[in-house]
Structure 1
Amino acid sequence: MISEQFFNHQLLDIVFESANYGTVIVDRNGKIQYMSNQYCEFLEVNREDVIGEYVANLIENTRMHLVVQTGQSEMADLQFLRGSFVIANRIPIIENKEIIGAIGTILFRDLHDWKEMNNNIKELLARNNLYHPEDEPTSGINYTIHDLKGNSNAIIELKERIKRVAEGDISILVRGESGTGKEIIAQSIHQLSSRSQKPFVSVNCGAIPEPLIESELFGYEEGAFTGAKKGGKIGKFQLADGGTLFLDEIGDMPQRMQVKMLRVLQEGEVEPVGSLQSQKVDVRIVAATNRPLERMIENREFREDLFYRINAVQLMVPPLRDRTEDIPILVQHFLEKITSRIGKRVQCVQEDVLALFQRYNWPGNIRELENILNASVHLSSDSLIEMTDLPDYLTKETRGIQKKTLKEIVEETEKKAIERALKNCQYDRNKAAMMLGIGNSTIYEKIKKYQLIE
């Protein structure tokens, strides 16, 4: 047995609370003898309640009970804990060649730094295909922030903003045109949050008939109405308990439901249809819309109080026509995705096709681009997509533009790219050149050639 003097909590607190660790000490039986206040705060437990508890019952994915058996140290191990990653060290305590316990630490400077580190770990794993959300059947997500493709300033800034807001529990409103990838953003927020091991539930508020939306969101009791299932049905809020509820197209929510939605968000409880009792729910709300909610508020079509409840943080998703420099990256991504699915070898698009893509207005945004490439891959008889492989509506719509020579098309595209870079860099020529990956002398020549700055 380890002596009681060794577990003088006051002495251990002096040592460990001044360090940037969460610390736990177990005896040879794997029972907790000490836990630092920082670790208790992280786990949301009281220290007096955990002393004497078997460590594996309290700390998920721990290996402390194994370290006291093997006597082998485990350093810098990646441990999934409370929906997030931590860096864990586990060291056996040996006295007179006998294992008498083990000390474990998780590394974080403070809770904010830990969350930021965890987001970076998740993003790194996703980028290297080591994190697969679809392998987690309870999560309900298929995308990570790595699926938000693009190197434009707008996308880089959006990704950084997503990572900053994901760690909190604040409501988020994602705004952007249809087809810009709002659900990818919502799933990325969930995946980077401490709720990532809980469900992500998506509801399209515009796709549910008005008479059914209340029962879909809040569930119903048996016999609540004609046709109700035996035993009743739980609603989307209950399904998302502990996780994230994504309310897509919230601008299409009927006004009658807006009142009830506001109450749920304020009180944190739902009342199933036909029930006399409310049920507590803990959900994070991420809403999305492509509609002008401010104008709808003026026209009394959307409740102002609900708007402010869901609009704590707003994320704006740029339309594809405003970030055409990302089109080559998106094209390559979708080609790889489509060809791997159907087994057809189509590796790239012709230059004139890419130039047409960068001039097209893209009313359907990224969704339209993916659909066009999907059709073109099926129509293509070669390893690259040509103009003749594109859908008819696209070539008809741009037929007048096709009278230009390839040189004119390239120059027009180049001019637009430089204009956009200058605008994004507040017309700092050197920064714009760096962003475009060209030399300072080159951008000065192009500016003069295209007469971009007076």
Structure 2
Amino acid sequence: MKKTSPHLDDSFILNKLLESAYDGIVVVNQQGIITYISKAYTDFLGIDKESVIGKHVEDVIENTRLPAVLKSGKTEKARLQLINGDYMVASRIPLIKDGVVIGAIGKVLFRNIEDLNLLYKQINQLQKQVDHYKKAGGVNQAKYSFRHIIGKSEKLSDARTMAEKACMTDSSVILTGESGTGKELFAHAIHQESARSLKPFIKLNCAAIPAELLESELFGYEEGAFTGAKKGGKPGKFETADSGTLFLDEIGDMPQGMQAKLLRVLQEKEIEKIGSQHPVKVDVRIIAATNRNLVEMVEKGIFRADLYYRLNVISIRIPPLRERPADIDFLVPHLLDKICSRLGKYVEIPPGTMRVLKSYSWPGNVRQLENVIERAVNLAEREAVIVPEDLPETVTEIHDSQVKPLRETLEMAEKNAILTALNLSGGKKAKAARLLKISRSNLYERMNKSNL
């Protein structure tokens, strides 16, 4: 007699999927009552499955945020949660039907931080292998694009828009802005999106090369041009960047003698190597950057006016971080993810620490912010949360000069209120008193006290 195969009903399959898909899963209804919890979760908690069905989730799971999700109706992805003295990583998803939250699901992604750190390290190792294979084809290529420019503030958006327009032309560009604002990032992005994107992107920091070596770095030299010259000579940055882009960082630090030679190359589109009698034609687009005031330097005769006008076809100012504090909300998660990936750690920054970061002026801009976050990631304790104590004192301290005594603040506010009322009333005391909702005699007393 032929045996029939057992029937696989939907509820059986769904139950098996829920039991095996995650390290743990719990479902609550609109009131926060547990309607389902997987065996993996109860084993993790060390409780009996049948005993918790019908109980409120806060009575079963320590520090649960499912009630908060029921109230907000918003998903919380990969958040830390302290259970039994250790941190795990969990996600919480509201169940919404016809616009109404009818329940929520909690999913355990990692039972402890060590598991997550191990995964980070494995992913990081794979990324290093991929980067290794990319290197052969990535020499002298731009590494960044516009997606690496993080922020949505109006000033940054204006700079990005101007840079995107610069991609559509071959004209020279000057990027201005304080140190650490991301000028090199913009230079990479402009080249990456330009018609020269498949050609070389060559960088030279004019401030990092001694004046006596700058000419050979830019234009190269022939064999035997000077004592110590390499056999066969050496190509300069212009020759290496032929058909591509040459990024001249810290152009304001270029010696005046070198400025004249650079101007000639830009005008004639040809270079002459040291020790050579024959010019070589080059096709190079120039993107220059500086944190100095070139207009002021031109007025003082420190920077050549003709070179400035040749370079300053498209000028883009990169705003400092203090002028776009709202972008810190986007920069911190981006930088944190990059740093954690490199260090093989998983760390979170809670709202309290974010408030501290947003209240600081960041004179070193994004570069300083990145350094501070990396320091904090390294100092964060095993619970993987960055607290204000992990930040440098320069970021967390409030200077006494920033806070005035309460009495002085109140007196200043009162004086300003009286002056405003007098201004609006045309100097008429009775009308000013009515605006301030005080008697005329009281107004006179306060005016005398404020020396008005």
Letter in 1 for 2:237: K
Q: Which moved more, 1:392-401 or 1:321-330?
A: 392-401
139 and 367 in structure 1: CA distance in 2 versus 1, 3 angstrom threshold: same
For 1:86-165, list aligned pairs within 5 A.
Answer: 136-165=137-166
Structure of greater Rg:
2
Q: Is the 8 A contact 2:356 2:388 kept in 1?
A: no
Does 1:191 find its partner at 2:214?
Answer: no
The answer for the alignment partner of 1:363 in structure 2 is 363
Corresponding residue SS for 2:225: coil
Corresponding residue SS for 2:286: strand
In the comparison of the two structures, how many residue pairs are matched?
Answer: 272
CA shift, 1:392, in A, is 3.2
CA distance in 1, matches of 2:222, 2:398: 53
The answer for the alignment partner of 2:248 in structure 1 is 247
CA shift, 1:352, in A, is 2.8
CA shift, 1:395, in A, is 2.8
221 and 313 in structure 1: CA distance in 2 versus 1, 3 angstrom threshold: same
For 1:52-451, list aligned pairs within 5 A.
Answer: 136-347=137-348, 349-381=349-381, 382-396=383-397
CA shift, 1:233, in A, is 0.5
CA distance in 2, matches of 1:182, 1:215: 25
358 and 134 in structure 1: CA distance in 2 versus 1, 3 angstrom threshold: farther
The answer for the alignment partner of 1:445 in structure 2 is none
Q: Deviations over 1:229-265 (max 9, x none)?
A: 1111000000100000000000000000000000000
Q: Is the 8 A contact 1:133 1:139 kept in 2?
A: no
CA distance in 1, matches of 2:309, 2:247: 17
CA shift, 1:298, in A, is 1.3
CA distance in 2, matches of 1:319, 1:134: 32
403 and 395 in structure 1: CA distance in 2 versus 1, 3 angstrom threshold: farther
CA distance in 2, matches of 1:168, 1:219: 28
CA distance in 1, matches of 2:174, 2:280: 25
192 and 133 in structure 1: CA distance in 2 versus 1, 3 angstrom threshold: farther
205 and 300 in structure 1: CA distance in 2 versus 1, 3 angstrom threshold: same
Letter in 2 for 1:355: R
Q: Is the 8 A contact 1:173 1:287 kept in 2?
A: yes
| Structure 2 stretches lacking a partner, 5+ long | 1-132, 406-452
CA distance in 2, matches of 1:277, 1:241: 17
Q: Is the 8 A contact 1:202 1:248 kept in 2?
A: yes
CA distance in 1, matches of 2:399, 2:195: 47
Q: Is the 8 A contact 1:320 1:362 kept in 2?
A: yes
The answer for the alignment partner of 2:27 in structure 1 is none
CA distance in 2, matches of 1:136, 1:171: 27
Q: Deviations over 1:171-213 (max 9, x none)?
A: 0000000000000100100000010000000100010000000
Q: Is the 8 A contact 2:357 2:395 kept in 1?
A: no
Q: Which moved more, 1:183-192 or 1:390-399?
A: 390-399
CA shift, 1:302, in A, is 0.2
Alignment RMSD (CA, Å): 2.1
Corresponding residue SS for 1:385: coil
CA distance in 2, matches of 1:386, 1:401: 23
CA distance in 1, matches of 2:136, 2:368: 28
CA shift, 1:351, in A, is 2.3
Letter in 2 for 1:303: R
Letter in 2 for 1:147: H
The answer for the alignment partner of 2:9 in structure 1 is none
Q: Is the 8 A contact 1:139 1:197 kept in 2?
A: no
- Larger RCO (CA under 8 A, 6+ residues apart): 2
Q: Is the 8 A contact 1:138 1:198 kept in 2?
A: no
Letter in 2 for 1:195: R
CA shift, 1:397, in A, is 6.0
CA shift, 1:383, in A, is 2.3
Q: Is the 8 A contact 2:173 2:311 kept in 1?
A: yes
Q: Is the 8 A contact 1:133 1:143 kept in 2?
A: no
CA shift, 1:223, in A, is 0.9
273 and 325 in structure 1: CA distance in 2 versus 1, 3 angstrom threshold: same
Q: Which moved more, 1:221-230 or 1:157-166?
A: 157-166
